[in-house]
């Protein structure tokens, strides 16, 4: 199947809802047999960002895409502490709610960092990890997000509606004019929901300031690598203007045994822009890791004043690591 023949049609999928630790959570589910694969979106995104991938993967696997707490059509509770440990626990709670045990995780952008922390914090729930232009591998981030971190400026930018979303598309895609207007309109509709823009800015400002990605976010991955032991696929768009391609090279260097696939002519969302070839690469990877013997991993121990082993204890005599905000 060529890139142009992979459909963008959203009506092929149906919203389902489940209660995750008191949070009404939206998800899509496709496929009835095979190992489970869970897709996790990035900041300001939703299940719609996987519209060109789920059906292809569902031919071989049970596929789930979930709106993270605070995003999409999932609840956006006031006062929720958006730190990585809490969000990782939310993801594990989602697995419990839909009856899944150990899964293959696929995460884009912020969702990549979320699934890495989830895998380390809940090691028995992860068989493999696929990172799609993942956050966590550098300080550099688009100036657009840095501007949004400024009070009042961010509020103005997220209230630009359809025009603002189309401007954002210019940064997310290498070829934004190929993106159907119906897909963009669906995203605008989601952002018009009560509290969507508040939650988006709350999460963004927890991890980004005018200088770029905050240091406590950049420091997470080095800490994770001491405990990270999962087969990992890294994919990146060569023309990514949100998180530059060099961060993909850093991911390859940091993660033992990782594979890297790069798409020329793709931006921050290669799973949409190069859907046909992305689906082939992901399916090949999932077939390979699904055939590996299942590794029995011990549960993560709780250390450092309640932080899970996703953040290891500090050196003796040092100040405790902060509980990181997720981004």
Q: What DSSP string runs through 222-291? A: HHHHTT----EEEEEETT-SSS-THHHHHHHHHSTT-EEEEETT--S-HHHHTHHHHHHHHHHHHHHHHT
Query: Cβ of 214: how many Cβ atoms within 10 Å?
Result: 18
Q: Which two tokens stand for residue 73?
A: 């059509």
What pLDDT, on a 0 to 100 scale, did the predictor assign at position 191?
86
Spatial CB neighbours of 321, under 8 Å, sequence gap ≥ 6: 223, 304, 307, 311, 312, 314
Q: Which two tokens stand for residue 79?
A: 């006062």
Beta bridge partners of 303: 307
Closest of 196, 191, 201 to residue 147, by C-alpha: 201
Secondary structure class of 99 (helix, strand, coil): coil
Q: CA-to-CA distance for 251 and 265, rounded, in angstroms?
A: 20
What pLDDT, on a 0 to 100 scale, did the predictor assign at position 205?
93
Closest of 23, 22, 27 to residue 40, by C-alpha: 27
What pLDDT, on a 0 to 100 scale, did the predictor assign at position 300?
55
* Cα separation values, 324 from 197, 214, 220, 294, 320, Å: 22, 10, 8, 30, 12
At residue 284's C-alpha, the angle toward residues 278 and 289, to 5°, is 125
Q: Which two tokens stand for residue 282?
A: 């992901």
Q: CA-to-CA distance for 305 and 327, rounded, in angstroms?
A: 22
What pLDDT, on a 0 to 100 scale, did the predictor assign at position 255?
95
Q: Is the pTM of this model over 0.95?
A: no
Q: What is the CA radius of gyration of the chain?
A: 18
Per-residue model confidence as pLDDT tens for the chain (327 residues) = 677 789 999 999 999 999 999 999 999 999 989 999 999 999 999 999 999 999 999 999 999 999 999 999 999 999 888 888 999 999 999 999 999 999 999 999 999 999 999 999 999 999 999 999 999 999 999 999 999 999 999 998 888 767 777 788 778 999 988 999 899 889 888 888 889 889 999 999 999 999 999 999 999 999 899 889 999 999 999 999 999 999 999 999 999 999 999 999 999 999 999 999 999 999 999 999 998 877 666 555 433 222 233 433 333 443 333 343 333
What pLDDT, on a 0 to 100 scale, did the predictor assign at position 306?
28
What pLDDT, on a 0 to 100 scale, did the predictor assign at position 310?
40
Contact 294, 116 (CB under 8 A): no
What pLDDT, on a 0 to 100 scale, did the predictor assign at position 297?
64
| C-alpha count within 13 angstroms, C-beta hemisphere, residue 71 | 27
- Assigned CATH class of 9-139+214-292: alpha beta
What pLDDT, on a 0 to 100 scale, did the predictor assign at position 320?
36
In the chain, what is the greatest distance between 2 CA atoms, to the nearest angstrom? 59
Q: Indicate the domain borders of the chain.
A: 9-139+214-292
Closest of 242, 284, 243 to residue 261, by C-alpha: 284
What pLDDT, on a 0 to 100 scale, did the predictor assign at position 299?
58
* Cα separation values, 74 from 164, 182, 261, Å: 22, 21, 31
What pLDDT, on a 0 to 100 scale, did the predictor assign at position 298?
59
What pLDDT, on a 0 to 100 scale, did the predictor assign at position 326?
38
């Amino acid at each position: 199947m060529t890139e142009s023949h992979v459909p963008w049609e959203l009506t092929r999928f149906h919203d389902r809802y489940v209660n995750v630790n008191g949070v009404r959570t939206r998800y899509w589910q496709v496929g009835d047999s095979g190992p489970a694969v869970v897709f996790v979106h990035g900041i300001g995104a939703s299940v719609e960002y996987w519209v060109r991938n789920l059906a292809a993967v569902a031919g071989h696997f049970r596929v789930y895409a979930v709106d993270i707490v605070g995003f999409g059509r999932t609840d956006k509770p006031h006062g929720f502490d958006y730190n990585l440990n809490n969000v990782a626990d939310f993801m594990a709670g989602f697995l419990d709610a839909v009856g899944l045990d150990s899964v293959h995780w696929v995460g884009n952008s912020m969702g990549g960092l979320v699934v890495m922390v989830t895998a380390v914090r809940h090691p028995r729930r992860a068989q493999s990890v696929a990172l799609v232009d993942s956050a966590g591998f550098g300080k550099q981030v688009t100036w657009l997000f840095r501007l949004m971190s400024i009070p009042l400026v961010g509020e103005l930018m997220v209230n630009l509606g359809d025009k603002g979303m189309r401007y954002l598309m210019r940064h997310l895609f290498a070829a934004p004019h190929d993106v159907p207007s119906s897909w963009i309109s669906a995203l605008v509709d989601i952002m018009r929901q009560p509290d969507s823009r508040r939650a988006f800015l709350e999460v963004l400002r927890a991890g980004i300031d005018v200088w770029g990605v905050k240091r406590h976010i950049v420091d997470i991955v080095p800490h994770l690598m001491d405990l990270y032991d999962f087969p990992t696929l890294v994919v990146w768009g060569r023309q990514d203007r949100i998180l530059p391609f060099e961060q993909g090279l850093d991911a390859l260097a940091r993660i033992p045994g990782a594979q890297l696939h790069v798409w020329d002519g793709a931006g921050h969302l290669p799973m949409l822009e190069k859907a046909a070839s992305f689906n082939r690469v992901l399916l090949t990877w999932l077939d390979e890791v699904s055939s590996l013997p299942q590794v029995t991993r011990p549960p993560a121990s709780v250390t450092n004043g309640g932080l899970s082993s996703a953040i290891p204890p500090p050196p003796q005599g040092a100040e405790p690591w902060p509980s990181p905000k997720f981004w």
